[in-house]
Amino acid sequence: MTRFSILLFCSIASAVPFTLLTRQAVPDDEVCKLEVYKASSWSKSGGEARLKQWIKDHGEEQWLSKMELEITGSNSNVDCSHIQSKNCNGPKQECLQTKEPSWYYVQQMASQVNSHLDMLHENLQSFVVQRTMEMDNILEDFEIKESDIGKILGIANGAAGIGSVIAGATGNAPAAAGLATLAGLLQIGGSVIEEPDQADLKTAMSDYLNSIFVKTEENVARLLLRLFGEDTEDKILDDTLKSMSDLGFSTGSSNEKSAIIRFLSSGASLEKLSSKPVQEALQRVFDLMRQGMIGALLAESKVYVLSNTKRKESDCKHEGMRYVDGACNELFQFDPRDQQSYRVPKEWYARLKDNYGFDRTQMYRNVIRCNNKPPGPKDSGLYPPCFFGLPVLRTDTVTNSAKDEWCSATNKKELPDWLNSDKGNWHPCAKMDEWIVPGGM
């Protein structure tokens, strides 16, 4: 999976325990007194048990319309299977007028599921259009001229914690239903996107990120068809449940044979969902993915973290420095033309924070704890492990006694080839008393 495995693993404990020993938790005459749009009402009303039994007896294919025909003797041509359906408005009668109160809640659940996924689809659609131009300045901001497109995009795809970002977004039940689904679908979308073939790096990056959201948008429509039994062969529901489970979301009892029942088991889909948490989650995911891509671009441009355990925290005061895990850390760039390293321009730090939302302390912590390992999919704190792909050069030899303060690496064997050398006078670090901007880099 991607690094797009995001930003971000906290689970949402939104599930209602799967313990249906009776048809419903309250008598029929009390069902209509329940709060309609509350997660617990799904099991208490008997709606879950009623649907579970019906699917067990009749199967999942077009279950809503067939169930309506069996219970009411008529068919209203209800359509909850499609995005922007005009005929999925919930029960046409009040609860007290319904032949079976539990059926009233099945209809409410169907309508809310359609509403949730329709909202996800709409927000994904508009999000892609709005964010198309937000990749344009990255290359200019960090003076990047050449890079290996495939490698960069592969890194971003392999390490992005897309789903984990959403998983940590909120703990309330309404958001849990819609956002858990969104997290699962984004995780799936990011894992199947092929790297674009454009020679132009800027276009390739934009197309790559946009394609993930577009694929997720397509999968929302597929999921809706599968949930209402229009396409019982599609594996999108099984894949979504697995992805949600991997992210820490509850997906019902593993003993339940019906994937539809498992998907609805928490009851959270019965609750109202507004656009705001969806939009906020999408923005967090986009920001994370973009940060991961910037990290990969910088790494390809031979930028690395110098982690100096000799420098005291009181001396770790230069612009860009952060004292993390007992070491003073800052960014350097290696210039292969003169085999020397230079501090990156001060302006880069402001751009990382102000333009792209980087938390520099967390970025350094992520890189030094990674210790030059490849990107990984699981979350650890704000960023997934090894998220940025930046090498870390560790040293314990720098002092403040001279103007030209050189250093030697204590982890030389772990460094990439371009930052390593067999020369006897190998010194990868730069002057420490002035800012040096590498010419032409």
Instruction: Kindly tell me if the per-residue pLDDT of 117 is higher than 90.
Output: yes
12-22 confidence digits (pLDDT tens): 223 223 233 33
Give residue for tokens 């704000």.
382
pLDDT above 90 (res 406)? no
Which single residue is written with the structure tokens 């029960």?
A: 91
Q: Is the pLDDT of residue 430 over 90?
A: no
Residue 318 above 70 pLDDT? yes
Mean pLDDT value of segment 278-285: 85
Kindly state the average pLDDT of the residues 410-422.
Answer: 78
Output the pLDDT for position 197.
Answer: 62
pLDDT of 412: 79
pLDDT > 90? residue 281: no
> Does residue 239 surpass a pLDDT of 80?
yes
Tokens standing for residue 19: 């313990």
The answer on pLDDT for 9 being more than 60 is no
Q: How confident is the model at residue 190 (pLDDT cuts 50, 70, 90)?
A: confident
Residue position matching structure tokens 């930046």: 390
Between 46-50, 152-156, 333-337, 352-356, the lowest mean confidence (pLDDT) is in 152-156
Mean pLDDT for 71-93 is 90
Confidence check: pLDDT of 1 > 50 = no
Residue-wise pLDDT for 152-186, tens only, equals 665 555 445 566 666 554 444 444 567 888 888 88
Per-residue pLDDT at 150: 58
Question: Which has the minimum average pLDDT: 175-184, 251-260, 424-433?
Answer: 424-433
Q: pLDDT digit string (tens) for 23-62? A: 455 677 789 999 999 999 999 999 999 999 999 999 999 9
- Helix pair 275-300, 149-159: axis angle to 10 deg: 140
Give the lowest-confidence range in 70-74, 109-113, 393-397. Answer: 393-397
**pLDDT attached to residue 15:** 29
Q: What is the mean pLDDT of residues 252-258?
A: 91
Give domain limits for the chain: 1-300, 302-419
pLDDT of residue 14: 30
**pLDDT band for position 123 (cuts 50, 70, 90):** very high
Lowest mean pLDDT, pick from 104-113, 130-139, 232-241: 130-139
Write a three-state SS string for the chain. CCCECCCCCCCCCCCCCCCCCCCCCCCHHHHCCCCCCCCCHHHHCCHHHHHHHHHHHHCCCCHHHHHHHHHHCCCCCCECCCCCCCECCCCCCCHHHCCCHHHHHHHHHHHHHHHHHHHHHHHHHHHHHHHHHHHCCHHHHCCCCCCCHHHHHHHHHHHECHHHHHHCCCCCHHHHHHHHHHHHHHHHHHHHCCCCCCCCHHHHHHHHHHHHHHHHHHHHHHHHHHHCCCCCCCCHHHHHHHHHHHCCCCCCCCCCCCHHHHHHCCCHHHCCCCHHHHHHHHHHHHHHHHHHHHHHHHHHCCEEEEEECCCCHHHCCCCCCEEECCEEEEEEEEECCCCEEEECCHHHHHHHHHCCCCCHHHHHHHHHHHCCCCCCCCCECCECCCCCCCCEEEECCCCCCCCCCCCCCCCHHHCCHHHCCCCCCCCCCCCCCCCCCCCCC
Q: Please check the confidence at residue 403 and state whether its pLDDT lies above 50.
A: no
Query: What pLDDT is stored for residue 18 in this prediction?
Result: 28
C-alpha angle 57-59-60 in degrees, rounded to nearest 5: 140
